[in-house]
């Protein structure tokens, strides 16, 4: 008995000593706080060049930057939450915010924004800002923005007798028809069948929401979504786009340069890619335009990344200082210069570097018209299933109505747990 | 009595490690498969529901699970014999007294095994590109019609099988080569004196003498091929039209992409049951064959 007691006592003493050592470590760290910051993909590399200035301005702070690869970031964030090792600040794709809010992992930021001289809500694109607000609470500050629009070969359009890019679906369809020569392997558009962003952009141009009854059920049988799906599927049936995935598309930049595709629906990073990959002589052959809608210029996806503070952070004030620093117009402009990331603040868009660039300004027009996707944690999965079913329709295995009903069925099944949580546990779920 | 206790004492470290790092996680995974553990449960344990066999029931009613299982069986049934035939063929060639530069060829044929799946898969993706791939270029040079290797749902799995066979046959080849070298040469000498042809020598000496090695290699390959994951993950991402989604790929997507750990554990256990049954049948067949 007493032996066991002695052992236990010794263990306790050892634990206590260990604990004190740990506390000591923390106390020493407090003199220069170490802020952990996770950034994803290309931004991870670029932001490293901005951080020295931040550390110079805040001598008491040191930023430990971790760069997550895009493919592993989502998993790593969830695992970090499960293991209680979330960072202080992180970059977060704005479609992932609902998931982390459902986990109650993020710190509300409205009070800090209200008190901040740097971050002013009015300067941001409203639809992008809205993706950071869930149930009336603000959880993130937009860092850079992203949407899909039309890259097009102006020279091919002119040669076919079209002076300007399409403004609505009817014009777009006419141009696709004129520019497609499937027998020569030349197509109007490239729409990779395993990317959901293109169909989603068409769907967001419709008036009907994508989910209904407080985001409890899918709303894919709505007339609007079926119209978008029909336009999408028709583009393949009329052989105006090849039914291939981005795995087979391989090098779309070269193909676009060769005129294999006249239209390419893609995001802002491709401005830089095209400038880099196509020879200088071909640079004036292509341009960008806002997405054509059913009637006139349409809405687009409100994508992008935000900066968030984690609830478990012990350096929230310093974390907010880092967000303020990265949100400065000067820093946004440097990020744009480094990566071509579209600034989230309108004032940056008025700077000389962006105003003089016509290919970039098309994005600004689109960004004023973007719409957020449904703010439910399951959204990414629903969009993925939507695209899987749409690919079946493209392959001719389902017609448009059958496909719409199937997407609804899958969305309803995915949302089953959300409905249960809302009904039984109350208002916790966003 | 005393020796027994000593035996347990000696076994204890191994048993402890096995229990802690294998049996306990397996038991935990089974318990997990009886719940609907997901993102909401991770947020708040009050959102965790015990669903008994509900996950299994739902899986058995999900077309994607059956097609994933079908793709896995397709891969095993076509891939394993092809892989074994390639390994045995290469081993026979290397073991032939006529073979020159054996060490070089042994290394060259083994090389794919030690390459990284991801790096090689990227190269294969280019080789099998419909428009610019070297394979279709060669087909056209021979006057054959080009094939949409990775874009046609009927061709994607054969392409993956080809890749897996190429990647893995070297490993079994080495084992079979060792088996071949262990066959006493006097058996062949006696057969030659009796006037047996090369084919008969192979059928009546090589195969029976190689049987234990072949059985082991076969069972290990079947078990390995059932766990098809990296190849579709890197080459096709499960597409086109989900025609290369394997059981393990489905588990990965459920568990680690969508965080439905309950359903993912259920997939893992169903795959375990299937593999257990198939291996059992194979072992029994091998034993019966051995007695005959």
B241–A81 CB contact, under 8 Å: no
| Residue A98 C-alpha, separation from nearest chain B C-alpha, in angstroms | 11
Minimum-distance CB partner of A248 among B40, B44, B150:
B150
CB contact under 8 A, B131 and A377: no
Helix (H) or strand (E) holding A62: strand A61-68
Contact A124, A367 (CB under 8 A): no
CB nearest B236 (choices: A247, A377, A381): A247
Contact A137, A110 (CB under 8 A): yes
Tokens 């007798």, residue? A161
Q: What pLDDT shows up at residue B271?
A: 93
CA distance A402 to A389: 10
- In total, chain B counts a number of residues equal to 292
Residues contacting residue A29 through CB under 8 Å, at least 6 positions apart: none
Residue from the list A75, A250, A391 with its beta carbon closest to the beta carbon of B129 = A250
Same domain, B117 and B224: yes
Quote the pLDDT of residue B1: 60
In a domain, B12, yes or no: no
pLDDT at B122: 87
Q: What is the pLDDT of residue B109?
A: 92
Q: Answer yes or no: do B286 and B193 share one domain.
A: no
Q: Do A392 and B241 make contact, defined as CB atoms within 8 angstroms?
A: yes
User: Is residue A63 left, alpha or beta, with left meaning phi > 0 and alpha meaning psi from -120 to 50?
Assistant: beta
Selection from A418, A323, A262 nearest residue A113 by Cα: A323
> How large is the angle between the packed helices A197-204 and A379-394, nearest 10 degrees?
100
Taking CA atoms, A346 is separated from A144, A245, A268, in Å, by: 11, 35, 16
Query: Is the pLDDT at A409 greater than 80, yes or no?
Result: yes
- Residue-wise pLDDT for A310-321, tens only, equals 999 999 999 999
What is the pLDDT averaged over residues A203-230?
94
Picking from A75, A82, A135, the residue whose alpha carbon sits closest to that of residue A108 is: A135
pLDDT at A281 over 90: no
- Are B241 and A377 a contacting pair at CB < 8 A? no
Residue B11 lies in a domain: no
| Upper half-sphere CA count for residue A347 (Cβ side, 13 Å) | 12
CATH number at B199 reads 1.10.3720.10
Residue A355: pLDDT above 60? yes
Q: What is the pLDDT of residue A131?
A: 92
Q: Are residues B239 and A428, on separate chains, in Cβ contact within 8 Å?
A: no
Please answer yes or no on whether B40 and A395 come within 8 Å at the CB atom: no
Consecutive H or E run containing A261:
strand A261-266
Q: What is the mean pLDDT of residues A85-103?
A: 93
CA B16 to chain centre: 29
Cβ–Cβ under 8 Å, residues A207 and A331: no
Q: Taking the alpha carbons of A135, A136, A139, A145 in that order, is the dihedral positive or negative?
A: positive
So what's the pLDDT on residue B248?
94
Rg of chain A, C-alpha, whole Å: 25
User: Does residue B216 belong to any structural domain of this protein?
Assistant: yes
Does residue B87 share a domain with residue B53? no
Number of domains in chain B: 2
Same domain, B246 and B111: yes
pLDDT at A216 over 90: yes
Bridge partners of A307, per DSSP, are A91, A141
Which pTM was predicted? 0.85
Kindly report the nearest CA distance between residue B48 and chain A, in angstroms: 10
The answer to whether the CB atoms of B39 and A99 lie below 8 A apart is yes
Question: Is there a single domain that holds both residue B221 and residue B167?
Answer: yes
Cβ separation A248–B46 shorter than 8 A: no
Q: For Cα atoms A116, A121, A126, give the angle at the middle one, nearest 5 degrees.
A: 165
**B2 in a structural domain:** no
- Residues B92, B185 within the same domain: yes
B124 and B200 fall within a common domain: yes
| CA dist., res. A341 & res. A364, Å (int) | 12
List the 254-273 stretch of B: residues with Cβ below 8 A of A: 256-259
- Smallest CA–CA distance, residue B231 to chain A, in Å, is 14
Q: Give the pLDDT score at B39.
A: 87
Kindly tell me if the per-residue pLDDT of A10 is higher than 90.
no
Please provide the average confidence, as pLDDT, over all residues in chain A. Answer: 88
Of B151, B153, B256, the CB nearest to A244: B151
Answer whether residue B206 is part of any domain: yes
Are B55 and B119 found together in one domain? no
Using one digit for the tens of pLDDT, what is the confidence trace for A160-185?
A: 999 999 999 999 999 999 999 999 88
Name the minimum distance, in Å, from the CA of A222 to any CA of chain B. 24
Please tell me chain B's helix, strand, coil percentages from 3-state DSSP, rounded to the nearest 5: 80, 0, 20
> What letters, b where the CB count within 10 A reaches 16 and e where it falls short, cover B76-102?
bebbbeebbebbbebbbebbeeeeeee
Is the Cβ of B100 closer than 8 Å to some Cβ of chain A?
A: no
Is B7 domain-assigned?
no
Which residues of chain A does B241 touch, with a Cβ-Cβ cutoff of 8 Å?
Answer: 391-392, 395, 397
Are B83 and B203 in the same domain? yes
Q: Are residues B158 and B39 in the same domain?
A: no
The predicted pLDDT at position B46 comes to 87
Question: How far apart are the C-alpha atoms of A422 and A426, rounded to whole Å?
Answer: 5
Q: Does residue B239 sit in the same domain as residue B123?
A: yes
Please check whether residue B282 is in contact with residue B219, taking contact to mean a CB–CB distance below 8 angstroms: yes
DSSP, collapsed to helix, strand or coil, labels residue A161 as coil
The confidence score (pLDDT) of residue A29 equals 45
* Phi, psi of A36, deg, nearest 5: -95, 135
Residue A430 is predicted with a pLDDT of 47
Share of chain A above pLDDT 70, in %: 91
What are the residues facing A168 on neighbouring strands?
A293
pLDDT band at A7 (very low <50, low <70, confident <90, very high): very low
- The neighbour count for residue B250, using CB atoms within 10 Å, is 26
Question: What is the rounded distance in angstroms from the CA atom of residue A385 to the CA atom of residue A392?
Answer: 11
Sheet holding A89-93, edge to edge: A61-68, A33-40, A89-93, A303-309, A141-146, A342-343
* Residue pLDDT tens, chain B, 292 long: 688 999 999 999 999 999 999 999 999 999 999 999 988 888 888 888 999 899 999 999 999 999 999 999 999 999 999 999 999 999 999 998 888 888 899 999 999 999 988 899 989 988 998 888 899 899 989 988 888 888 888 999 999 999 999 999 999 999 999 999 999 999 999 999 998 888 999 999 999 999 999 999 999 999 999 999 999 998 888 878 899 999 999 999 999 888 899 999 999 999 999 999 999 998 898 888 766 5
Q: Which tens digit of pLDDT belongs to each residue from A412-425?
A: 999 999 999 988 86
Is B68 part of any domain? Answer: no
Is there a single domain that holds both residue B33 and residue B91?
no
What pLDDT score does A16 carry? 46
pLDDT at B257: 86
The CA distance from A51 to A45, in Å, is 11
Q: What is the mean pLDDT of residues A144-170?
A: 92
- What is the DSSP code string of B109-154? HHHHHHS-HHHHHHHHHHHT-TTT-HHHHHHHHTTPPP--TTTSHH
CB contact (8 A) between residue A250 and residue B241 = no
pLDDT computed for residue A25 by the predictor: 44
Greater pLDDT, B99 or A100: A100
Quote the pLDDT of residue A11.
52
> Domains of chain A, with CATH numbers?
33-146+302-371 (3.40.190.10), 156-301+378-424 (3.40.190.10)
Q: Classify residue B120: in a domain, yes or no.
A: yes
Whether the per-residue pLDDT at A27 is higher than 50: the answer is: no
Q: Which helix (H) or strand (E) holds A218?
A: strand A217-218
Domain assignment of residue B156, given as a range? 73-251
């Amino acid at each position: 008995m007493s032996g066991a007691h002695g052992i236990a006592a010794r263990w306790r003493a050892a634990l206590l000593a260990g604990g004190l050592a740990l506390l000591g470590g923390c106390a020493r760290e407090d003199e220069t706080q170490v802020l952990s910051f996770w950034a994803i993909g290309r931004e991870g590399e670029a932001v490293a060049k901005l951080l020295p200035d931040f550390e110079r301005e805040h001598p008491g702070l040191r930023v430990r930057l971790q760069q997550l690869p895009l493919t592993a970031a989502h998993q790593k964030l969830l695992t970090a939450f499960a293991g209680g090792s979330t960072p202080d600040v992180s970059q977060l794709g704005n479609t992932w915010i609902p998931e982390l809010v459902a986990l109650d992992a993020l710190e509300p930021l409205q009070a800090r924004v209200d008190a901040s001289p740097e971050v002013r809500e009015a300067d941001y694109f409203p639809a992008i800002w809205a993706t950071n607000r869930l149930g009336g609470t603000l959880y993130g500050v937009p860092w850079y923005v992203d949407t899909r629009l039309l890259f097009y070969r102006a020279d091919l359009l002119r040669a076919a007798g079209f002076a300007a890019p399409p403004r609505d679906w009817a014009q777009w369809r006419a141009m696709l028809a004129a520019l497609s020569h499937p027998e020569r392997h030349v197509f109007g558009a490239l729409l990779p069948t395993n990317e959901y962003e293109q169909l989603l952009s068409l769907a967001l141009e419709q008036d009907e929401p994508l989910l209904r009854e407080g985001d409890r059920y899918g709303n894919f049988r709505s007339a609007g979504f079926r119209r978008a799906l029909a336009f999408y599927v028709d583009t393949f049936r009329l052989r105006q786009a090849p039914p291939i995935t981005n795995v087979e598309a391989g090098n779309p930049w070269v193909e676009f340069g060769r005129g294999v595709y006249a239209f390419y629906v893609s995001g802002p990073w491709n401005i830089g890619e095209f400038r880099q990959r196509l020879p200088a002589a071909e640079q004036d052959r292509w341009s960008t335009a806002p997405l054509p809608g059913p009637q006139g210029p349409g809405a687009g996806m409100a994508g992008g990344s935000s900066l968030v503070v984690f609830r478990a952070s012990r350096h929230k004030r310093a974390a907010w200082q880092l967000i303020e620093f990265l949100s400065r117009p000067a820093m946004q402009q440097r990020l744009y210069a480094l990566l071509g990331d579209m600034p989230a603040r309108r004032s940056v868009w008025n700077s000389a570097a962006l105003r003089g660039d016509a290919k970039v300004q098309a994005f600004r027009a689109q960004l004023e018209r973007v719409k957020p996707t449904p703010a439910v944690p399951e959204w990414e999965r629903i969009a993925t299933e939507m695209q899987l079913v749409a690919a079946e329709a493209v392959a001719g295995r389902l017609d448009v109505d059958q496909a719409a009903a199937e997407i609804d069925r899958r969305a309803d099944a995915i949302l089953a747990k959300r409905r249960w949580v809302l009904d039984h546990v109350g208002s916790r779920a966003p | 009595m005393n020796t027994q206790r000593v035996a347990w004492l000696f076994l204890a470290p191994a048993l402890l490690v096995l229990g802690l790092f294998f049996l306990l996680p397996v038991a935990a995974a089974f318990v997990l498969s009886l719940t609907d553990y997901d993102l909401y449960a991770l947020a708040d344990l009050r959102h965790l529901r015990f669903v008994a066999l509900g996950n299994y029931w739902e899986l058995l009613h999900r077309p994607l699970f059956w097609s994933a299982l079908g793709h896995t069986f397709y891969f095993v049934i076509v891939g394993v014999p092809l892989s074994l035939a390639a390994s045995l063929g290469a081993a026979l060639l290397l073991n032939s007294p006529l073979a020159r530069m054996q060490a070089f060829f042994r290394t060259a044929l083994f090389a794919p095994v030690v390459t990284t799946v991801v790096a090689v898969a990227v190269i294969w993706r280019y080789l099998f590109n419909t428009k610019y791939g070297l394979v279709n270029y060669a087909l056209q040079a021979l006057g054959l019609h080009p094939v949409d290797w990775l874009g046609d749902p009927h061709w994607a799995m054969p392409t993956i099988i080809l890749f897996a066979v190429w990647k893995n046959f070297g490993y079994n080849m080495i084992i079979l080569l060792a088996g071949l070298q262990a066959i006493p040469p006097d058996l062949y000498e006696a057969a030659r004196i009796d006037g047996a042809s090369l084919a008969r020598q192979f059928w009546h000496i090589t195969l029976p003498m190689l049987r234990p090695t072949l059985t082991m290699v076969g069972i290990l390959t079947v078990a390995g091929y059932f766990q098809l994951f990296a190849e579709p993950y890197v080459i096709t991402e499960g597409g086109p039209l989900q025609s290369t989604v394997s059981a393990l790929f489905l588990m990965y997507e459920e568990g680690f992409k969508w965080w439905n750990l309950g359903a993912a554990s259920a997939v893992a256990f169903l795959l375990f049951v299937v593999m257990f049954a198939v291996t059992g049948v194979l072992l029994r067949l091998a034993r019966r064959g051995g007695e005959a």
